[in-house]
Amino acid sequence: MSWLELLAAGLGIISVWLTVRQNPWCWPIGLVMVLLYTWLFYDWRLYSNLLLQVLFAALQLYGWWQWTRGGERHEGRQVSMLPMPGVVRDLAAGVLGALLLGYAMATFTDASAPWLDAALTAFSLVAQWWMAQKRAQCWVLWIVVDLCYVAFFIATDLYLTAVLYALFTLLAISGWLGWRKDLALRSAA
């Protein structure tokens, strides 16, 4: 455990907590976190996760824009549900991304866990894409992905990061409940 990992983990907790509360400051704080994790994953030779952090950096900027200027009136997005055809399409893209990235990492790098790392990377991107668009289903996918990450980081002896992802799981449960409540209140009005 390094001071850099500790700082990145702390920023991650703050960022996800702000996301649950639908506070747009989650995005710039998240951007700093993912840049720190980019460095850490390079050191740990988790290249799919490194790539994920680079893509997350772009998605942090996209999410910040969506939450503050997106939507039909450019006043920021509201929580919504993605229709089932979109869910199926995006999950299928996650499977395809996992297979392609897993093959590339297993074939062309010395990645320490190419297939699992690639699968978690691909589905994290789907969850982050949904989050940037304020799709409530992002939290269900984050719960599943975060639980897998907990086991993965324990197996790779990255205990602080495993604890971070356990906290992310609890925050994702809170996010799911809170965003569903927001949806119910808006549909009742």
Three-class SS state of 135: strand
CA distances (Å), 183 to each of 122, 127, 161, 177, in order?
27, 18, 32, 10
Is 80 a member of any domain?
no
Distance separating alpha carbons of residues 44 and 172, to the nearest angstrom: 26
pLDDT at position 15: 95
Domain extent, residue 160, equals 3-69+85-188
> Using an 8 Å Cβ cutoff, are 63 and 116 in contact?
no
2 burial level (CB within 10 Å; 0-12, 13-18, 19+) = exposed
Amino acid at 17: W
Rounded to the nearest 10 degrees, the angle between the axes of helix 114-132 and helix 84-108 is 150
Kindly list the averaged pLDDT for each block of 10 residues, start to end, along the chain of length 189. Answer: 86 94 96 94 82 90 93 86 98 97 92 89 94 96 97 88 90 96 86
The total number of structural domains that make up the chain: 1
pLDDT at position 1: 66
pLDDT at position 62: 95
Which residue in 64, 81, 50, 74 sits closest to 19, CA to CA? 64
Is 35 a member of any domain?
yes
CA distances (Å), 34 to each of 15, 96, 180, in order?
10, 24, 27
Is 74 a member of any domain?
no
pLDDT at position 45: 82
> Using an 8 Å Cβ cutoff, are 144 and 127 in contact?
no
Name the one residue in this structure whose structure tokens are 């991650």: 12
pLDDT at position 94: 98
pTM: 0.88
